[in-house]
Structure 1
Amino acid sequence: MNDTAVLRDLLDRWKAAVDAHRPEQVAACFTEDAIFQGLHPYTVGRTGIAEYYASQPPGMTAAYRVLETRRLTDDLLLGYLDVDFAFPDRPTLTVNLGVLLRRSPDGWSIAHYQVSLLP
Structure 2
Amino acid sequence: MEDKEILTGVLDRWKDAVDAHEPGRVATYFAGDAVFRGLHPYSVGRAGVAEYYAGQPLGLTAGYSLLETRRLADDLLLGYAHVDFAFPDRPGIPVYLSVLLRRTGDEWLITHYQVTRIEG
Alignment-derived partner of residue 29 in structure 1: 29
Alignment-derived partner of residue 88 in structure 1: 88
What aligned pairs does 1:1-119 form with structure 2 within 5 A after superposition?
Answer: 1-119=1-119
Q: CA deviation at 1:64?
A: 0.5
**Residue aligned with 1:81, SS:** strand
Q: Deviations over 1:7-43 (max 9, x none)?
A: 0001110000000000000000000000000000000
User: What 5-or-longer segments of structure 2 have no aligned partner?
Assistant: none
- The alignment's C-alpha RMSD in Å is 0.6
Q: Which amino acid aligns with 1:100?
A: L
Q: CA deviation at 1:106?
A: 4.5
**Residue aligned with 1:5, SS:** helix
Runs of 4+ in 1 over 2 A off after TM superposition: none
Q: CA deviation at 1:118?
A: 1.0
Q: Which amino acid aligns with 2:48?
A: G
Q: Deviations over 1:40-92 (max 9, x none)?
A: 00000000100000000000000000000000000000000000000011101
CA distance in 2: counterparts of 1:19 and 1:51, whole angstroms: 16
Q: Which amino acid aligns with 2:73?
A: T
User: What 5-or-longer segments of structure 1 have no aligned partner?
Assistant: none
**Residue aligned with 1:32, SS:** strand
Q: Which amino acid aligns with 1:34?
A: A
**Residue aligned with 1:40, SS:** coil
Q: Which amino acid aligns with 1:91?
A: P
Number of aligned residue pairs: give it. Answer: 119
Aligned-pair identity in percent equals 64
Q: Which amino acid aligns with 2:27?
A: A
